[in-house]
Amino acid sequence: MSGFSLVAFDLDGVLVDGTGSWSDVHKALGTDKLSRNHGRDFYNGKITFDEWARKDTDLWKGVDFDRIREALYKTKLMNGAQETISTLREWGYRTAIISGGLQILADRVREDLGIDYAIANRLLFKDNKLCGIDQRVDFKGKGRILERIIKENRIERDETVAVGDYINDIPLFEAAGYSIAFNPKDDRLLAYADEVIMEKDLTMILPLLKDGR
């Protein structure tokens, strides 16, 4: 393995440890039970992913930005995340977050770790109150976003690495040259992964990428 120059990470369950940014807000606001109905409708084919996101966001309308940010900022980084991103930067890699989670958390992690790109779903606010969502990363959209970043950086697909944990990372894996399933939550992801890591220690990806540049 050689010639890697860009690593694209999922956020929830990969760069941060927890059940997910959507779930964290639902738990903080007491809307988690209602949100489970939306998730069930999506997986049963009754609503689209965008409709699921809008229905979930509707549960939070009128909530202060600071309250949502507080819920998200309680999320802890994955073990080894700081060392991993720092090392990749030293090796000359560019890094990206591509997440179906929430931009507020993605921006915080990007700033904390020094990541180059962070693309997630952006909550919209008016007068500091939540009023909607800019749905930028749908259930199958991660691959298209990675392809855009590849083009912007004028690199080849084979130079890219994807790190994810769930079935919505399959398009990301398909768009990358090399894919790592990190504590996968669904066995369907394994068919698309070149490597599988089953420990909550992000530094375990480093030996796979050491000779990338």
Q: Summarize pLDDT for 41-72 with one digit per residue, the tens.
A: 998 999 988 899 999 999 999 999 999 999 99
Does residue 211 have an active-site annotation?
A: no
Question: What is the predicted pLDDT for the residue at 213?
Answer: 47
Over range 74-87, report the average pLDDT: 96
Please determine, for residue 177, whether its predicted confidence score (pLDDT) is greater than 50.
yes
The number of residues making up the chain comes to 213
Say whether pTM exceeds 0.85: yes
Q: Is 12 a catalytic residue?
A: yes
Query: Domain-by-domain residue ranges, the chain?
Result: 6-18+77-123+134-209, 21-73
Q: Which residue in the list 12, 56, 165, 169 is annotated as catalytic?
A: 12
Domain 21-73's class?
A: mainly alpha
Q: Does domain 6-18+77-123+134-209 have CATH number 3.40.50.1000?
A: yes
Structure confidence by residue, pLDDT tens digits, 8-39? 999 999 999 988 899 999 999 999 999 999 98
